[in-house]
Structure 1
Amino acid sequence: MEDVVIPYELPETENHSFFFIDQYIDTRLEAKLHRHDAWELYYVVQGRGARMAGDTLLPFTEGNVTLIPPSMHHHWNYSPSSADEKGHVHYRMVAFKHSFVLNCMETFPELRNRLTGMTFPTEALTFGTASSRLIRHSLTKMDGLDELGRLCEMFRLLPILFTASDYTFVGKPMRIERDVRRMQQICAYVMAHYIHPISLDDIATEIGMNRSAFCSYFKRHKGMTFSQFVTRYRLDTACNLLTHSQNSVSEICYLVGFQDVPHFVRVFTKEKGMSPGRYRKKH
């Protein structure tokens, strides 16, 4: 059965310009695939897992800072093993309407001078090291401020969010509801089964298509074959494990679904431009 994209209503902000939350939550209670009419700035304080933003599924880890555009479908799926001793993960999030940005630009020339002429992103993006450090500092600081203090901090954040150059696009919007649900099914299936071999027949049956139709559909919408998509997800997950775990290269090979260590090393080296061992040393 296909999952439904939830139109998610943010908490009441009638007496506030934006919504801020410092959240500890059980991994089972985090919101499913949803969307809302606001920018979402999301900082993962503790936890790791996989994020779906628009048409893209990618792993995320502690420290990740991502900006989701208004109305984009997204889902943060945390791994239970990344929770603390109480079973909780931790994130800080700011959500604000686009009208908030425009009103601020209209009211404050200092902000308008910084943002005039820039193009607001239509894709989800993850910030690089320098900008992430500034954003994490602001969101952490917000947790100890009153409402007026948080507003002042937002004035500092907006230019960083919309003029930063160290970012990576991590999701394009999907306009057709049926395709959103299908891609969500596909991504959810990969997340649940990537450790084991995934056959085209199995995934095609999962979403109610025959093998040939599925291959054509997936290539048309993702610009790559399903096999390439699974391999990319496995390699991205391997990168996270190389960076954030003490597992050996051979252990990581099997943890991400490869069945042969030399083959894993060859594929990793070809796609990432360096061996797994060198990648670990570099990061």
Structure 2
Amino acid sequence: MDPLLLRVNQPDTLSFSVNQFNYLHSFPGLWHYHPEFELTLILKGAGTRFVGDHVESFEAGDLVLIGKNLAHTWRSDTAPDGLPGGPAEALVTHFREEFLGSAFFDIPEMLAVRGLLNRSARGLKVTGAVRARLTAELKLLQDFSGAAKLLKLLHLLVLLSESDELTTLASEGFCQGTSDSDSDRINKVYAYIMNNFQQQIRLADVAEMAHMSPTAFSRYFTQRTRKPFSQFLIEKKVGYACRLLMSARFSILQICYECGFQNVSSFNKQFKKITGVTPRQYQLTYKPFGGQPLDRSREDDRVQVCSEG
């Protein structure tokens, strides 16, 4: 499934929108993009967040700034026993780049915010003290109206622009400038992988979908994402496995096959290669903390498939 161009509903009387979305069983998991920037705070729910070519577990408190036209979704995982993820709730703010005027963010006082918006082209996860502060203020944003509401949002963007507690999500290679047709092709390929990674995916099949030979596609994919196709696919599987391992409700064997691995030996090997620990070791790190993850964040540029949400 290709990422869908989503039309954000916004009243004509407002320059940006703030909406609280509530779902009875799970987030819809719609793979989509839109021309608006998006600041999303997860109030309830847990699962897997996809931003560009980045996949990571999330839980309540997750706060992310998504750049314009960057494909993304939050998906409540369906466990191997078929149970839904449970109630889900998110507070979402959408705004266009020109919502304060076409050149507003280019004035000297706003250059730091301009830099923030440019960085959000790859998606930014907000962490630490600034996340706690923004969470409290975002929950109050709906109570404001008129100019006060606009100034509050601008204040939040300034706070983000001054913070060093932001983690870049999608890889630079995935988001670097490509033509519209090329962008459509890589998005189509990525959407297919995201929706089918639990099954066996052959390089030849994906290459055919992209109308390329396997050799040409392999080279093309590596150039665009800065990683081989096989590595990209494994990271998707391991990222999903991390979410299931956190629950501690399922056996390693169940999770192995649910994530699309052919055998436990391969699952253990690939999981340790990505995370540095075995699936069993990873699962055990959560038990003494009531299922809450340890801080496994890293300061390098690798895709962080299993750090905290």
TM-score by length of 1: 0.77
The separation in 1 between residues aligned to 2:10 and 2:113, in whole angstroms, is 32
The separation in 2 between residues aligned to 1:238 and 1:4, in whole angstroms, is 23
Higher percent of residues as helix:
1
TM-score by length of 2: 0.71
> How far off is 1:104 after superposition?
8.8
The separation in 1 between residues aligned to 2:166 and 2:181, in whole angstroms, is 30
Report the equivalent of 2:201: 198
Partner of 1:98, secondary structure, is coil
Q: Is the Cα contact below 8 Å between 2:112 and 2:158 reproduced in 1?
A: no
The sequence identity of aligned pairs, in percent, is 21
1:60-98, Cα deviation, whole Å (9 max, x unpaired): 43333211123x23231634745547xxx4321112233
The separation in 2 between residues aligned to 1:197 and 1:93, in whole angstroms, is 35
The separation in 2 between residues aligned to 1:189 and 1:4, in whole angstroms, is 9
The separation in 1 between residues aligned to 2:180 and 2:221, in whole angstroms, is 16
The separation in 1 between residues aligned to 2:257 and 2:130, in whole angstroms, is 34
Unpaired segments ≥5 residues, structure 1: none
Name the amino acid aligned to 2:18. F
- RMSD, matched Cα: 3.4
Q: Is the Cα contact below 8 Å between 1:57 and 1:187 reproduced in 2?
A: no
Name the amino acid aligned to 2:241. A
Report the equivalent of 2:259: 256
Whether 1:76 aligns to 2:83 is: no
Partner of 1:269, secondary structure, is helix
Name the amino acid aligned to 2:145. E
Q: How does 1:72-111 map to 2 (within 5 A)?
A: 72-76=69-73, 78-79=75-76, 81=78, 82-84=84-86, 89-99=88-98, 100=100, 103=104
Q: Is the Cα contact below 8 Å between 2:197 and 2:259 reproduced in 1?
A: yes
The separation in 2 between residues aligned to 1:92 and 1:253, in whole angstroms, is 33
Out of 57, 62, 71, the position equivalent to 2:59 is 62
Out of 14, 17, 20, the position equivalent to 1:16 is 14
Q: How does 1:142-161 map to 2 (within 5 A)?
A: 142-143=141-142, 145-147=143-145, 150-151=149-150, 153-161=152-160
- Identify if the C-alpha distance between structure 1 residues 19 and 32 changes in structure 2 by more than 3 Å, giving closer, same or farther: same
Moved over 6 A (4+): 26-30
The separation in 2 between residues aligned to 1:131 and 1:147, in whole angstroms, is 24
The separation in 2 between residues aligned to 1:262 and 1:221, in whole angstroms, is 30
Unpaired segments ≥5 residues, structure 2: 79-83, 287-292, 294-309
- Identify if the C-alpha distance between structure 1 residues 273 and 80 changes in structure 2 by more than 3 Å, giving closer, same or farther: closer
Name the amino acid aligned to 2:59. E
The separation in 2 between residues aligned to 1:244 and 1:159, in whole angstroms, is 37
Partner of 2:215, secondary structure, is helix
Report the equivalent of 1:119: 115
